[in-house]
Structure 1
Amino acid sequence: MTYKNLLSYLTLLFILPSCTSRSPNIVAVCEEDKVGNNIIKWETPSRIKGKVKVYASTSPDRIPPRNPIAIADISDHRLTVVTNDPVQRYYYLMVFDNRYRVKIAGRKIDILGVQNLYDIGGYKLNGGRNVKWGKLYRAGEIGNLNHYALNKLKNTGIRTIVNLDNTFSEQKDIFFKKKIGIQCYFCSFIYCWKPDIQRLAAKGDY
């Protein structure tokens, strides 16, 4: 199984029902600045007026709509969330005009020693569903990580790394499992759907 097929299969495991067909097309993005704050931007149809409220949580599955961390006019199209702990990863629920909800998070995650780490959540799929946030990531080479980087990687919630290019040594595998509880698996491009990975995906034990 190729990398593309593996990614497609995993994506199907982590999907959420979207809003109803009556929901307007709201586009929102979250970007991390150089000091770790999150800049949230959005575009909405002109008919949507009023306020947008933003709620935060460290869990992508549970963001209670209580005590908003930020409120802005929808017409502002952006706001900045100042974070006191840049190591911690946050997920945001945006409520527009007390009616329309959009869940977002920072897509690109900057961790020293990890190349091009991206959360694949939020992408729309056929059938009106979205990929869940905080469940499926892609990255390039993972090098040596210091204590700060290890904590930031741990806070993504990643529990399994599927290595497609055999760059992980046995020592690094043991190190990741011992330090931050991440299990590593090697999969070649020719055959990368081994029974142990099938079991993880089927049970959701990723």
Structure 2
Amino acid sequence: MNEEIGRQAIRKLEPGKLVIASHNPGKVREIAALLGPHGLDVLSAAELGLPEPDETGTTFIANAELKARAAADLSGFPALADDSGLCVDALGGEPGIFSARWAGPNKDFRDAMRLVEQNLERVGPDIGRDAHFICALSLAWPDGHIESFEGRVDGVLVWPPRGDRGFGYDPMFKPNGFDITFGEMDPEAKHRMSHRADAFAQLVAAVL
């Protein structure tokens, strides 16, 4: 759990409607699957026609909180937002909070993965390929109360990308201890050990 976040005033989430503050279908599917056992009526920001706020934060948690607050305020329901990204050690942590922007206006993550690989090649052929995914989850209520959690999973990058499961950078990320990428992994297996699962386990323990 991120130590920056105050833990004194945990608020429990009651059964009812919950907005997933994302327009990314892959993220919505993963978060909805994780929420499945908890008796919540899940809606997406896209279903409700909510706009996507500008992500002006400088950290994953800041952007997650910005999106969660906006969706809760506009919908009148509690809202859960995710901000996540790929951090590559040899690139100084890039693309990081700009992971989605590296995919361009068409959100083409094949281009984003190619850009990561090209940047690694510029650094040098013998450079390390260690990387990690970060996921910040923020849960906001319409009255402004918010709880935030951050998860992480470490691994290495492969090239060319492998597998057509998951989304985003999953096909080029091989988590430590596994011989397959997130793009090759069964979704249920990924749900048990991903950065999002780590953050979600913290959220469940705290508010559900």
Shared fold per TM-score greater than 0.5: no
Q: Which has the higher helix share?
A: 2
Q: Which has the larger radius of gyration?
A: 1
Normalised to the residue count of structure 1, the TM-score between the two structures is 0.30
